[in-house]
């Protein structure tokens, strides 16, 4: 069963899970991709910014160098046109030098390469010599720069010298040599905010660093950019190296948050998974339980019915439907009167229904009849109980209904059999007393015979004395009556009949059984005593059954006294109210051999007898008959020897 559910549910369950799992994976991938992408973008942005800034710095340097060149060209022009004296030139040079700290010196060589004016050695400019690589002539008139050379006496400092040829109408007036301190260029021409964030260097064609500035610390080699300076004659590159490191992927807090979020997500997914599995398992178990319950309900032979607080049918099981012959759909939801109520018992149902609503239904169940859809009457036994929900509140009533038709039939059969048994037992008793009966009838018949013979003799003798004749006939009549009574009681006792209940007076009962009891007693030489409490009310019973009980008890008593001295053989019958006052008790007291303890327990068992010819059914039948009348049978030892058998029956009009 379990595997059945699993195999059915698994593929659907797997597909159901695929989409959330994919979504979660997508979410996690996005979560990881987003910061990575952000980092990439930031890095690009920084790189672009660096390029732009480098360009700007290069432009600034270039601009300043051009400006210097411009100014020197102006001085050169004046030298050539107005033959400016050397000291005036020097003065102009000094002004330029003062305003531009990146310039180390400015020297004017004439066309014979003799230094005329020099800012470095103003007193004896002639000591200045043009640098070895200086191109003499410079006939194109264009600026030309020389390979940077280390500055004398200063470590790690390079000088960049550029010469401006002084040329007018193909006349050569010499040249102006301007030397820049490369470190000075970086110090003076690169703005501080840029230098703060970047290491800026100038490198020559051999990749040798000829000047460097790192105000904010060395560069991290993450964002770098090279930009060639546009200087004729020399290849110098401006290299910027940002001191910023690569952007951090994410801040620690964010990373932690993402990790926690992902873990939380995975955990909740797992929890959801577990929960759903648990639910599926519970659902499976529930379904199994339901299937089991339905199977149980369907195979139940007891009818089940649930009603709400107003008495509306809320549930009926198949057995109930079979019992009354209506489908559940026609019953559920209905309020009384119900279709299965038999018209003749409507009042009883209505009364019972009121009792149910009032909650005063007997717990031991009650019997009633239902009417099947085909009109047949079904005897049923119903047990009602309150229907209580899981919160302990009553929501209606639950009834279990048993079809007792079979039981009734069986009871009837058993009653009939018992009846037959009683009749046989009576016959057996009669068999025993038949001989005594014959003997006993002999007496009245003989008496009748002699009385009638006497009467005939009187008539034949002609001495008819009415008084004598009447006396003889009355005696004969009395004897005939007695014989008739004996025969009647025997007939009554033996005839097979249906048990009937009527008000029976105990005095009458004893009276009518007395001839038979006497018959037994006389045969056994037992003297009989009886004592009845006056004004005993009647009991509701079957007279013949009670007679049978009385006869059985007296017969047993008489038989128990067979072996004792005849003088002690006394049988007493007492009838009185019992101690509680609501029953009438009859005691049959003998002085016989009594009942030993080992026999006492078996007395009422069928076919138990200590007598050679005993049937062993007497006491058993007596007790069954008495219980059938709501009475009881018990025995106890007679203190004077012998046994007392006592039966008690409910009085019809009990007086206390």
φ, ψ at 385 (rounded to 5°) = -145, 150
- DSSP assignment of 2-32 equals HHHHHHHHHHHHHHHHHHHHHHHHHHHHHHH
Q: Determine, following the binding rule CB under 6 A, whether residue 575 of this chain makes contact with ligand ADP.
A: no
Q: State which residue, 198 or 620, has the beta carbon closest to ligand ADP.
A: 620
Q: State which residue, 345 or 494, has the beta carbon closest to ligand ADP.
A: 494
Query: Which residues lie across from 109 on neighbouring strands?
Result: 115, 175
Q: Determine, following the binding rule CB under 6 A, whether residue 638 of this chain makes contact with ligand ADP.
A: no
Question: For tokens 């178990």, what's the residue?
Answer: 285
Which listed residue (430, 507, 532, 615) binds ligand ADP by CB under 6 A?
Answer: 615
Question: For tokens 């005593």, what's the residue?
Answer: 529
* Number of shown-chain residues binding ligand ADP (CB under 6 A): 22
Q: Determine, following the binding rule CB under 6 A, whether residue 609 of this chain makes contact with ligand ADP.
A: yes
Q: State which residue, 25 or 599, has the beta carbon closest to ligand ADP.
A: 599
Distance CA 51, CA 72 (A): 31
Which listed residue (141, 379, 523, 616) binds ligand ADP by CB under 6 A?
Answer: 616
Distance CA 650, CA 537 (A): 10
Q: What tokens were used for 299?
A: 């195979």
Q: State which residue, 253 or 612, has the beta carbon closest to ligand ADP.
A: 612
Distance CA 56, CA 193 (A): 13
Which listed residue (489, 584, 590, 638) binds ligand ADP by CB under 6 A?
Answer: 590
Kindly write out the interface string for residues 544-573 of this chain, putting x where it contacts ligand ADP by CB under 6 A and - elsewhere: --------x---xx--x-------------
Q: State which residue, 15 or 607, has the beta carbon closest to ligand ADP.
A: 607
Which listed residue (117, 486, 526, 595) binds ligand ADP by CB under 6 A?
Answer: 595
Q: Determine, following the binding rule CB under 6 A, whether residue 322 of this chain makes contact with ligand ADP.
A: no
Instruction: Write down the least CB distance from residue 647 to ligand ADP, Å.
Output: 13
Q: State which residue, 175 or 426, has the beta carbon closest to ligand ADP.
A: 426
Q: Determine, following the binding rule CB under 6 A, whether residue 641 of this chain makes contact with ligand ADP.
A: no
Q: How far is CA 206 from CA 144, 235, 642, 647, in A?
A: 19, 9, 149, 142
Q: State which residue, 141 or 594, has the beta carbon closest to ligand ADP.
A: 594
Q: What tokens were used for 554?
A: 């007296």
Instruction: Write down the least CB distance from residue 432 to ligand ADP, Å.
Output: 10
Kindly write out the interface string for residues 344-363 of this chain, putting x where it contacts ligand ADP by CB under 6 A and - elsewhere: --------------------
Q: Determine, following the binding rule CB under 6 A, whether residue 454 of this chain makes contact with ligand ADP.
A: no
Q: State which residue, 515 or 642, has the beta carbon closest to ligand ADP.
A: 642
Q: State which residue, 196 or 610, has the beta carbon closest to ligand ADP.
A: 610
Distance CA 226, CA 240 (A): 6
Among 42-50, 261-269, 368-376, 605-613, the segment contacting ligand ADP (CB under 6 A): 605-613
Q: Determine, following the binding rule CB under 6 A, whether residue 643 of this chain makes contact with ligand ADP.
A: yes
- DSSP assignment of 471-527 equals HHHHHHHHHHHHHHHHHHHHHHHHS------EEE-HHHHHHHHHHHHHHHHHHTT-E
Q: Determine, following the binding rule CB under 6 A, whether residue 68 of this chain makes contact with ligand ADP.
A: no
Label residue 315 left, alpha or beta by phi (over 0 means left) and psi (-120 to 50 means alpha).
beta
Instruction: Write down the least CB distance from residue 587 to ligand ADP, Å.
Output: 11
Instruction: Write down the least CB distance from residue 431 to ligand ADP, Å.
Output: 12
Q: State which residue, 47 or 609, has the beta carbon closest to ligand ADP.
A: 609
Q: What angle do CA 79, 71, 136 make, to 5 degrees?
A: 60
Q: Determine, following the binding rule CB under 6 A, whether residue 610 of this chain makes contact with ligand ADP.
A: yes
- Summarize the chain as % helix, strand, coil (round to 5): 50, 20, 30
Give the footprint of ligand ADP on residues 114-133 (CB under 6 A): none
Q: What tokens were used for 439?
A: 């003997």
Distance CA 656, CA 648 (A): 16
Q: Determine, following the binding rule CB under 6 A, whether residue 614 of this chain makes contact with ligand ADP.
A: yes
Q: What tokens were used for 591?
A: 């002085």
Instruction: Write down the least CB distance from residue 548 to ligand ADP, Å.
Output: 11
Instruction: Write down the least CB distance from residue 578 to ligand ADP, Å.
Output: 20
φ, ψ at 199 (rounded to 5°) = -90, 125
Q: What tokens were used for 484?
A: 């008739």
Q: State which residue, 317 or 638, has the beta carbon closest to ligand ADP.
A: 638
Instruction: Write down the least CB distance from residue 442 to ligand ADP, Å.
Output: 27
Instruction: Write down the least CB distance from residue 327 to ligand ADP, Å.
Output: 55
The residues, ordered by sequence, that sit 6+ positions from 487 with a Cβ below 8 Å of its Cβ are 441
| Distance, C-alpha 565 to centroid of its chain | 82
The residues, ordered by sequence, that sit 6+ positions from 218 with a Cβ below 8 Å of its Cβ are 199, 241, 243
Q: What tokens were used for 530?
A: 């009886």
The residues, ordered by sequence, that sit 6+ positions from 47 with a Cβ below 8 Å of its Cβ are 223, 225
Q: State which residue, 120 or 564, has the beta carbon closest to ligand ADP.
A: 564
Q: State which residue, 183 or 556, has the beta carbon closest to ligand ADP.
A: 556
Question: For tokens 């001295």, what's the residue?
Answer: 565
Instruction: Write down the least CB distance from residue 569 to ligand ADP, Å.
Output: 12
- Are 182 and 159 in contact, with CB atoms under 8 Å apart? yes
CA torsion, ordered 225, 231, 233, 237, to nearest 10 deg: -10
Q: Determine, following the binding rule CB under 6 A, whether residue 611 of this chain makes contact with ligand ADP.
A: yes
Which listed residue (319, 619, 625, 651) binds ligand ADP by CB under 6 A?
Answer: 619
Instruction: Write down the least CB distance from residue 589 to ligand ADP, Å.
Output: 9
Distance CA 619, CA 548 (A): 11
Among 194-202, 256-264, 449-457, 607-615, the segment contacting ligand ADP (CB under 6 A): 607-615
Q: State which residue, 56 or 608, has the beta carbon closest to ligand ADP.
A: 608
Among 30-38, 459-467, 564-572, 609-617, the segment contacting ligand ADP (CB under 6 A): 609-617
Instruction: Write down the least CB distance from residue 360 to ligand ADP, Å.
Output: 44
Distance CA 9, CA 291 (A): 17
Q: How far is CA 9 from CA 278, 281, 342, in A?
A: 13, 10, 50
Q: State which residue, 40 or 611, has the beta carbon closest to ligand ADP.
A: 611
Binding site for ligand ADP (CB under 6 A): 552, 556-557, 560, 590, 592-595, 599, 603, 608-611, 614-616, 618-620, 643
């Amino acid at each position: 069963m379990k595997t059945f559910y699993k195999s059915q549910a698994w593929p659907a369950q797997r597909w159901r899970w695929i989409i959330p799992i994919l979504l979660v994976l997508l979410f996690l991938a996005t979560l990881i991709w987003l910061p990575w992408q952000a980092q990439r973008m930031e890095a690009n942005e920084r790189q672009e910014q660096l390029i732009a800034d480098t360009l700007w710095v290069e432009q600034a340097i270039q601009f300043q160098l051009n400006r210097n060149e411009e100014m020197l060209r102006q001085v050169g022009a004046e030298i050539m046109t107005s033959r400016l004296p050397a000291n005036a030139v020097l003065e102009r040079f000094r002004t330029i030098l003062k305003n531009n700290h990146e310039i180390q010196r400015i020297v004017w060589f004439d066309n014979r390469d003799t230094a005329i004016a020099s800012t470095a050695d103003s007193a004896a400019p002639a000591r200045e010599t043009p640098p070895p690589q200086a191109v003499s002539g410079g006939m194109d008139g264009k600026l030309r720069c020389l390979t940077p050379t280390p500055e004398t006496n200063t470590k790690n400092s390079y000088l960049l010298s550029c010469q401006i040829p002084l040329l007018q109408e193909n006349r050569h007036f010499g040249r102006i040599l301007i030397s820049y301190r490369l470190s000075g260029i970086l110090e003076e021409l690169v703005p501080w905010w840029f230098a703060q964030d970047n290491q800026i260097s100038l490198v020559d064609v051999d990749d040798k660093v000829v000047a460097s500035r790192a105000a904010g610390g060395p560069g991290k080699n993450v964002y770098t950019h090279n930009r060639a300076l546009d200087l004729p004659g020399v290849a110098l590159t401006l290299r910027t190296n940002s001191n910023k490191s690569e952007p951090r992927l994410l801040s620690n807090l964010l990373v932690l948050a993402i990790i926690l979020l992902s873990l939380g997500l995975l955990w909740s997914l797992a929890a959801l998974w577990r929960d759903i599995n648990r639910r599926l398992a519970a659902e499976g178990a529930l379904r199994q339980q339901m299937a089991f319950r339905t199977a149980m309900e369907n195979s139940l032979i007891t009818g089940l019915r649930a009603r709400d607080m107003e008495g509306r049918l809320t549930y009926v099981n198949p057995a109930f439907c079979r019992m009354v012959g209506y489908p559940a759909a026609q019953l559920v939801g209905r309020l009384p009167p119900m279709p299965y109520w038999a018209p003749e018992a409507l009042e009883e149902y209505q009364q019972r229904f009121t009792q149910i609503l009032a909650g005063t239904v007997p717990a031991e169940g009650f019997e009633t009849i239902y009417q099947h859809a085909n009109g047949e009457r079904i005897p049923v036994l119903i047990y009602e109980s309150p229907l209580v929900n899981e919160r302990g509140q009553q929501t209606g009533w639950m009834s279990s209904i048993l079809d007792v038709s079979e039981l009734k039939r069986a009871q009837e059969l058993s009653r009939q059999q018992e009846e037959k048994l009683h009749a046989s037992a009576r016959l057996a008793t009669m068999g025993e007393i038949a001989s005594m009966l014959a003997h006993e009838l002999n007496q009245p018949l003989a008496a009748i015979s002699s009385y009638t013979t006497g009467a005939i003799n009187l008539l034949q003798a002609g001495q008819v004395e009415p008084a004598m004749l009447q006396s003889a006939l009355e005696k004969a009549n009395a004897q005939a009556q007695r014989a008739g009574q004996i025969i009647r009681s025997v007939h009554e006792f033996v005839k097979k009949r249906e048990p009937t209940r009527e008000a029976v007076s105990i005095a009458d009962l004893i009276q009518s059984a007395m001839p038979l009891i006497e018959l037994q007693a006389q045969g056994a030489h037992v003297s009989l005593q009886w004592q009845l409490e006056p004004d005993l009310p009647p009991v509701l019973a079957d007279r013949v059954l009670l007679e049978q009980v009385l006869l059985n008890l007296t017969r047993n008593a008489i038989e128990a006294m067979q072996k004792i001295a005849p003088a002690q053989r006394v049988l007493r019958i007492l009838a009185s109210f019992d101690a509680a006052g609501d029953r009438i008790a009859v005691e049959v007291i003998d002085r016989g051999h009594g009942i030993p303890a080992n026999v006492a327990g078996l007395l009422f068992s069928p076919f138990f007898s200590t007598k050679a010819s005993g049937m062993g059914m007497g006491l058993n039948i007596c007790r069954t008959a008495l219980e059938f009348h709501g009475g009881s049978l018990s025995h106890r030892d007679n203190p004077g020897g012998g046994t007392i058998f006592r039966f008690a029956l409910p009085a019809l009009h009990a007086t206390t």
